Structure 1
């Protein structure tokens, strides 16, 4: 059957758009989780929505599985293909189609790297708030398929909050297009939300209409030391009251700060090590004349109240970037056998969760290293573990410990990056059986042959 499918695809799309064997690059083996083992049987490179539709129509007729691939920056195995799958790359669906100044919208093709979309908005005097570390290679279609978050969620919301319209292709090749530019549109079901966060299991996103914001006129960044997690929450609440909300609020536990700030890869230590907590706070405002004084007054009031033990304000962009290098924590990548987690908890329970989770991990692996840090203000906590596993142990064992703790605290096993294959066994820790049943009903309705990204999410 596979040869018949490939022949039909080549006849429709052209030989250059259907790659097989050694013509498929090794990068299509796995996303950044590095858990993919097989190259797909074929790789499709459609050039427009019509070719995506034609490819899916043919694959659906043959019952052939299709795995959509974007920038391959995910961490949950969601873009990994099996040996018998056909991968569909969106690399060639790349470009800015329209920037509407009056509507403050940006229409882009789904294969466009996020950074290119951000730069197009910036050049026109607007802000595309969606932002994450892999902006240079992550594609906007993948960002929406996983409902990406990033550093600015606390101010602007997740990816789904920044989308007004989109175009998607269903499993049978039906093109579902609604490139809406209106903030208010209650004409029936909001179908775009079916595809945002569904990881390509319900349809393949091909176009996006982003809602843009005005560019900020000022940015102030500070690194703070605090005495407890309660003090972290008090600082967050004061920032929301005094500043109207920060644009970023990043908390770090002391072992994370000591390791990262003391590492040669980071080359930055804004404050001395040894404090119980650290916070990087960023505020973006609309008045370059008065915003710096407002930010400083906010910090001074927090110091007077005792919420802060110490603080330093970045004096220029270079210093602000050095603060961010600490929070980005790239030095953790030098540790052996690291496993990264991206989970969500109710903000007020994050401190207790971190204590409990650390205790469970240390009880199982007394010599392991465990680092906690994250966005906090948007309920997102990151955990990095480095463990010398005993014979017969591995990543699945540490997953069991961390996700059981997330379940016990009524949190989410996936704050970002989706479920993919790596978190599929734990979906029931954060979703009820009834919710999972409805997800399966939606899948059966939109993809009755189950060809789209099989084995992912549910």
Structure 2
């Protein structure tokens, strides 16, 4: 172990290779709270050549290398473990170019998402990728986990926004294809191997994002609907009449009642006695006509009974109040909270929620200490579940995981919608992927990382 540390310090400089107490606690793991072990070392390179050198040396020594971005992940994907080296991309940061003619942006992997968004906006463009941790999450991690967020319904996952990548392979080979073209079928699209692979096949160092025009108007409404079929019809109408919403966030009553009653939320847009709630956001390009068009859409939905009530945000404060409800930060105050990020066929989401709730409350009977809250983007099949129950002796989070993921499997869904697999969902990957699919994943891993040094123990 001492040999690899000495080699890294010789090649990279002593200031870039930290060990022991020099590392601190931040680099032990991500926001899942499951990383508790100090890594063998932490390296913080400032250039792609240094990243390549570090990987080459680690590969030759057979030492695990675990890439780390903003450490905002929730699946344990950035946890290094005692015998591994953590490779932080935080010093490899910056927007290298905004190409206004191509409508693209080239960004270093360690750049915070919000920094990239602001640079795009300053040039008159929108970088559609957006999530709550935008201020600290790094774009390399976003792409490595194929991040989603609030605008997937209109713009797609991170995968849909990436035109080109630069990646360093396990042996230090730098694979550069900073493509700016939407159409490019010159052989295999190798970037797709690395998007969503969570650093197990290569370490992303540069990204070319496809940009969109900045919207000229944003209209936001909080609505109440009688039932789930009405929600689906409302979504279809929004797609047809508005050209598609930029956000369509659905909340079940258990979520809405708890969040709006909590003092941290300070907002209750509508009474708590409706069947479902939905936050709709529409971004358009006609600041004069779009608000009226949005109100006409909502008026038609009210007349036809698709929604029972609605309130439109008239200023930025009201927009923030609506989103504060949807963000559901009040749930973080619950004890023993277990969060889930799953996908289901859109037409079966409400049936899944009912079945999952029934199973949870049968195992841990309903009461003031039992909570099961459901909410999600829905238009992209994504459902979030927050569970807080009083565990009995011998029980714990694993028991909740088993119940929820078994129900996801029964409904032919995915155990991970946008948070990745990491370590926390690895045992349940077979609930959503066939043995043949997992075998192919392992063959790809063996081909690109034969010594198994890249983020070992994650995904597969």
Alignment correspondent of 2:184: 185
CA distance in 2: counterparts of 1:416 and 1:25, whole angstroms: 29
Alignment correspondent of 2:240: 241
**Structure 2: tracts of 5 or more residues without a match:** none
Please state how far the C-alpha of 1:307 moved relative to its aligned partner: 0.6
Deviations 1:177-235 (Å, cap 9, x if unpaired)? 00000010000000001000000000000000000000000000000001101111111
Alignment correspondent of 2:146: 147
Please state how far the C-alpha of 1:400 moved relative to its aligned partner: 0.2
Alignment correspondent of 2:427: 425
CA distance in 1: counterparts of 2:453 and 2:218, whole angstroms: 47
What is the correspondence of 1:276-291 to structure 2 with a 5 Å cutoff?
A: 276-291=275-290
Alignment correspondent of 2:384: 382
Please state how far the C-alpha of 1:304 moved relative to its aligned partner: 0.7
Alignment correspondent of 2:25: 26
CA distance in 1: counterparts of 2:342 and 2:99, whole angstroms: 36
Deviation above 4 Å: which 4+ runs of structure 1?
none
Alignment correspondent of 1:100: 99
CA distance in 1: counterparts of 2:133 and 2:148, whole angstroms: 12
Alignment correspondent of 1:208: 207
Alignment correspondent of 1:372: 374
| TM-score in terms of structure 1 length | 0.99
Alignment correspondent of 2:83: 84
1:299 aligns with 2:298: yes
CA distance in 1: counterparts of 2:414 and 2:225, whole angstroms: 27
Deviations 1:125-153 (Å, cap 9, x if unpaired)? 10000000000000000000100000000
CA distance in 1: counterparts of 2:191 and 2:403, whole angstroms: 35
CA distance in 2: counterparts of 1:318 and 1:188, whole angstroms: 50
Q: Secondary structure at the match of 1:119?
A: helix
Give the alignment partner of residue 439 of structure 1, picking from 434, 438, 441.
Answer: 441
CA distance in 2: counterparts of 1:30 and 1:179, whole angstroms: 30
Give the alignment partner of residue 397 of structure 1, picking from 384, 396, 399.
Answer: 399
Alignment correspondent of 1:198: 197
**Structure 1: tracts of 5 or more residues without a match:** none
CA distance in 2: counterparts of 1:98 and 1:283, whole angstroms: 29
Deviations 1:9-64 (Å, cap 9, x if unpaired)? 11100000100000002011110000112010100111110000000000000111
CA distance in 2: counterparts of 1:62 and 1:219, whole angstroms: 54
1:410 aligns with 2:409: no
Deviations 1:308-363 (Å, cap 9, x if unpaired)? 10001000111111100000000000111100000000111101000011111111
CA distance in 1: counterparts of 2:455 and 2:262, whole angstroms: 40
Alignment correspondent of 2:314: 315
CA distance in 2: counterparts of 1:37 and 1:317, whole angstroms: 40
Alignment correspondent of 1:228: 227
Alignment correspondent of 1:325: 324
CA distance in 2: counterparts of 1:25 and 1:302, whole angstroms: 55
CA distance in 2: counterparts of 1:149 and 1:429, whole angstroms: 21
CA distance in 1: counterparts of 2:203 and 2:29, whole angstroms: 19
CA distance in 2: counterparts of 1:252 and 1:96, whole angstroms: 36
Q: CA RMSD in A?
A: 0.5
Please state how far the C-alpha of 1:443 moved relative to its aligned partner: 0.2
Q: Secondary structure at the match of 1:384?
A: strand
CA distance in 2: counterparts of 1:376 and 1:130, whole angstroms: 17
| TM-score in terms of structure 2 length | 0.99
CA distance in 1: counterparts of 2:346 and 2:81, whole angstroms: 38
Q: Secondary structure at the match of 2:175?
A: strand
Please state how far the C-alpha of 1:157 moved relative to its aligned partner: 0.1
Q: Secondary structure at the match of 1:246?
A: coil
